[in-house]
Amino acid sequence: MTTGADTEFSEADFAAGRLKSTLELVRDFEPASDPLEQLAKNRILNLLENTPEPFSRHQFVPGHITASALVLLPATGSILLVKHLKLGRWLQPGGHTEPEDRFPRDTALREAAEEAGVKIDRGETAGLVALDVHAIPASGKEPHHEHFDLMFGFSAADTGLCPSKEVGDAVWCEPGDLTKYEIDGPLIRGLSRIGWRAA
């Protein structure tokens, strides 16, 4: 029988383990020569080390950890993008960590499945491939804040997509379509680490 004290301890232990593993992951990450990625790494480490609830979507000062999935379709070299309704942009699938997500990688996998319905080849993963910190405008009850994003690389098992109502659409962006979808710097850095090359 699990007592309240046991439950409290296990939840605390779970949170401590997630924080420890994420700190190790980010500390071991080698940024690109772009100084913006080094700055992102420093800011993410500072968030993890010096804020009370870095994984909570309700921590708005300065913000919280998110995780996203850079999904490559190896047969064509295409990448998965979803239409972010709030920001009005094409982005990689991703979002907030949930209490049950053991690692940020789990968040990225869950978000890719939920938002795009993509099937991931679990045997082909590239780990942490990019870091980014970006501003999120105020909306409803949420004030302006920042997302401290950890991007993980994956390969798709097939071409099937089933976008959810949370996103406007989901597409496979073919090499050469960077301009069409307005792919930005952090995403390009991550894609280069999983073998994607623009046409």
What is the full DSSP assignment across 73-91?
A: ETTTTEEEEEEETTTTEEE
> Is residue 73 left, alpha or beta, with left meaning phi > 0 and alpha meaning psi from -120 to 50?
beta
At 67 the pLDDT is: 97
At 1 the pLDDT is: 44
Residue pair 104/111 in contact (Cβ under 8 Å)? The answer is no
At 10 the pLDDT is: 77
At 135 the pLDDT is: 92
At 197 the pLDDT is: 63
At 148 the pLDDT is: 98
At 42 the pLDDT is: 97
What is the set of domains in the chain, with CATH numbers? Answer: 4-193 (3.90.79.10)
Per residue of the chain (199 residues), give pLDDT as tens.
Answer: 445 545 455 778 888 889 999 999 999 999 988 899 999 999 999 999 999 999 999 999 999 999 999 999 988 889 999 998 877 889 999 999 998 899 999 999 999 999 999 999 977 677 999 999 999 999 889 999 999 999 999 999 999 999 998 898 999 998 888 788 888 778 888 888 877 765 5
